[in-house]
Amino acid sequence: MSEIMDGFEHCGYLVELDEVIRAGHTKYRRTPPEFLIDHTPRSAASDTHDYIVAGMGKRFWGRKGVRPFEIRGLHLWLFENVNAVIRIKKMDGLGRTQGIQTGQAKDYDADREIPGLPPKPIRLVAGYWENETALEVTRTQIARPFGRRIDWCAAIVPMEKRKDGARVWAEVARQYRIA
């Protein structure tokens, strides 16, 4: 976890991921209340996801060392400098993804082959955990999935809580697999 997260931080990606994810959630929350009232949790998550994916495209498109992929509707970003690939998802406080997973998402999380995706990078999920009212992002985070479980989850420290010289991330949860 430290090697990957420190790599993301060193390249400046953690700050950018935090900004993009929070901006996507904020953009959704700007939907007029008379329309929001009709949204189910599923449509809220879907719209928020789309805003984040669009933000990722705007932020990272054409960036050296970052390659976007869209494989049968699954949006992924390969961060070559860190040797990691990320997908975006709504999460719980431990980094587990929320909602019904497609077969392709299950394959991604279980490190099974996905045609078109390079086989070597570490597969991660980046996302947001909302407060109880779903009005605010409690935190943005990156998790290392292993099927429906996670190996680890790290929170990206919000801008207003960052301290000079301190890491931009903090460990949230670690689960150990039995070999």
CA 30 to chain centre: 21
Percent with pLDDT over 70 in the chain: 97
Distances (CA, A) of 122 to 6, 92, 130: 14, 21, 25
| Residue 5 near residue 142, CB atoms below 8 Å | yes
Q: Degrees (nearest 5) of the Cα angle 4, 82, 153?
A: 30
User: For the residues 14-34, what does the mean pLDDT come to?
Assistant: 95
DSSP string, 134-165: SSSEEEEEEEEEETTEEEEEEEEPPGGG--TT
Residue 176 has pLDDT above 90, yes or no: no
* pLDDT for res 179: 42
- Within the chain, where are the H helices? 2-10, 13-29, 33-36, 41-60, 103-109
Residue 178 banded pLDDT, cuts 50, 70, 90 = very low
- The residue written with tokens 């998802």 in the block is 89
* pLDDT for res 149: 87
- The residue written with tokens 């953690």 in the block is 14
User: For the residues 19-33, what does the mean pLDDT come to?
Assistant: 95
Q: pTM of this prediction?
A: 0.91
* pLDDT for res 73: 87
Residue 103 banded pLDDT, cuts 50, 70, 90 = confident
Phi-psi region of 116 (alpha: psi -120 to 50; beta: other; left: phi over 0): left
Residue 117 banded pLDDT, cuts 50, 70, 90 = confident
Phi-psi region of 122 (alpha: psi -120 to 50; beta: other; left: phi over 0): beta
Residue 13 banded pLDDT, cuts 50, 70, 90 = very high
| Residue 97 near residue 125, CB atoms below 8 Å | yes
Residue 100 has pLDDT above 90, yes or no: no
Q: Is 100 helix (H, G, I), strand (E, B) or coil?
A: coil
